């Protein structure tokens, strides 16, 4: 249950409400105090009813993210870039899987900036399946991303792998990426709940839509309203592609949640072929963004070599998207 309390409620009365309904409490930017309890609670306690301006009851723990609580898609501001809300923007986020060295990253950033791309991706703490694979440059990589931001004015998205470096990723990035393997880490989710920077949560490959949105609720219930969801493929019986791209799930998330959606066909497909078609199909769904891996020399990439587009492939795909976006009432940014 979600309760709205007026912006001028006294401290003592706030405490009375929380005593009657123990749960999360934060104050929204517009001043309203929000209290959230389990969805099992269905009725406002009569002793504090006088302090409650509005209450919302739910069937399950998708609450703050639910369209039945807030119908409009959330607006996410990343500096002067606006996603969600009434913007009708579909943002292209691009860059290599991993920041490998300064030259590779700066070369990629310069190329993408030249195409008009505003948000640069690049992992520094890589959640690799093998301990013997390249694990990322860590803090050194974050500094290289920061240099690209300073030089080209691009925004940075980079992933947090575990709670040990969450503070560094929060400090350096404009959007914090919580990866498919990290999205159950409540240390990360709770750290991201305490800030206001946008957080993009990727769907785990064995994660149901309910669990996915509940991960977002961990961040939202701490008072950070700026959560974006990212579909990147789930594991099914199919092995010919790396994962199965769950576009039905995307349609469900669009229907029932107020969270902006970014789609990642690169990790779903796992191979270069097909990605341009999947980008066009994704944009046709009317989404808030795409995140695509590109590398100056994909065969030499230290992670996800098979799926990174080279610059020529990226450019021709990118140039095909505005017409698709326009057909569904959106603008590529």
Nearest one of 309, 297, 321 to 269, comparing CA atoms: 309
Contact 120, 139 (CB under 8 A): no
Q: Which does 122 bind (CB under 5 to 8 A by kind): Mn ion, ligand PEP, none?
A: none
Residue among 159 and 185 whose Cβ is closer to ligand PEP: 159
Our CB check for ligand PEP shows the closer of 64 and 136 to be 136
Going from the C-alpha of 56 to that of each of 17, 26, 74, the distances in angstroms are 15, 16, 18
Q: Binding partner of residue 295 among Mn ion, ligand PEP, none, CB under 5 to 8 Å per kind?
A: none
User: What, of ligand PEP, Mn ion, none, does residue 298 touch, CB below 5 to 8 Å by kind?
Assistant: none
User: Residue 266 CB, nearest distance to Mn ion (Å)?
Assistant: 7
Cβ distance to Mn ion smaller for residue 246 or 304: 304
- Residues 26 and 225: their CA atoms lie apart, in Å, by 11
Binding site for Mn ion (CB under 5 A): 97, 304
State the greatest distance between any 2 C-alpha atoms of the chain, in Å, as a whole number.
66
Integer Cα distance of 156 and 19 in angstroms = 41
Instruction: Give dist(CA 138, CA 147) in Å, integer.
Output: 15
DSSP string, 121-185: E-BSS---SSTTS----THHHHHHHHHHHHHH--EEEEEE-SGGGHHHHHHH-SEEEE-TTTTT-
Q: Which does 185 bind (CB under 5 to 8 A by kind): Mn ion, ligand PEP, none?
A: none
Least distance in angstroms from the C-beta of 293 to Mn ion: 6
Residue 316 CB, nearest approach to ligand PEP (Å): 22
Smallest gap from Cβ 176 to ligand PEP, in A, equals 12
Q: Which is nearer to ligand PEP, 21 or 202 (CB)?
A: 202
Residue partners of 49: CB distance under 8 A and separation at least 6: none
Is the Cβ of residue 87 or residue 98 nearer to Mn ion in the bound state? Answer: 98
Q: Which of Mn ion, ligand PEP, none does residue 232 bind to, with CB < 5 to 8 Å depending on kind?
A: ligand PEP
Give the shortest CB-127-to-ligand PEP separation in angstroms: 6
Cβ-based nearer residue to ligand PEP, 63 or 303? 303
Point out which residues bind ligand PEP (CB under 6 A).
Answer: 97, 123, 127, 159, 179-181, 202, 232, 267
The one of ligand PEP, Mn ion, none whose footprint includes residue 81, by CB under 5 to 8 A per kind, is: none
Comparing every residue's Cβ against Mn ion, the nearest one is 97
Whether the Cβ atoms of residue 283 and residue 258 lie closer than 8 Å to each other: no
SS3 of residue 293 by DSSP: strand
């Amino acid at each position: 249950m979600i309760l709205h309390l007026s912006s001028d409620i006294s401290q003592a009365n706030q405490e009375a409400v929380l005593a009657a309904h123990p749960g999360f409490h934060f104050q929204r930017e517009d001043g309203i105090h929000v209290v959230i309890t389990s969805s099992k609670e269905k009725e406002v306690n009569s002793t504090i009813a006088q302090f409650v301006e509005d209450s919302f009851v739910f069937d399950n723990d998708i609450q703050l993210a639910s369209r039945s609580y807030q119908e409009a898609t959330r607006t996410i501001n990343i500096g002067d870039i606006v996603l969600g809300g009434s913007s009708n923007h579909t943002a292209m986020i691009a860059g290599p899987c991993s920041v490998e060295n300064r030259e590779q990253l700066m070369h990629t950033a310069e190329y993408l900036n030249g195409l008009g791309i505003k948000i640069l991706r690049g992992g520094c703490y890589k959640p690799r399946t093998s301990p013997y694979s390249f694990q990322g440059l860590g803090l050194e990589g974050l500094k290289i991303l920061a240099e690209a931001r300073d030089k080209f004015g691009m925004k940075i998205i980079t992933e947090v792998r575990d709670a040990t470096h969450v503070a560094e990723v929060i400090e350096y990035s404009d959007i914090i990426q919580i990866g498919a393997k990290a999205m159950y880490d409540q240390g990360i989710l709770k750290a991201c709940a305490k800030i206001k920077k946008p957080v993009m949560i990727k769907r785990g490959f064995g994660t149901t839509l309910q669990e996915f949105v509940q991960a977002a609720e961990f961040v939202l219930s701490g008072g950070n309203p700026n959560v974006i969801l990212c579909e990147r493929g789930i594991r099914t019986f199919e092995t010919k592609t790396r994962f199965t791209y769950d576009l039905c799930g995307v349609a469900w998330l669009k229907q029932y949640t107020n969270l902006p959606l970014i789609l990642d066909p690169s990790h779903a497909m796992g191979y270069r072929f097909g990605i341009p078609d999947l980008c066009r199909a994704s944009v046709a769904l009317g989404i808030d963004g795409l995140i695509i891996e590109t590398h100056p020399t994909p065969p030499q990439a230290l992670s996800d070599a098979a799926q990174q587009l080279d610059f020529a492939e990226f450019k021709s795909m990118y140039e095909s998207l505005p017409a698709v976006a326009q057909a569904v009432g959106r603008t590529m940014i």
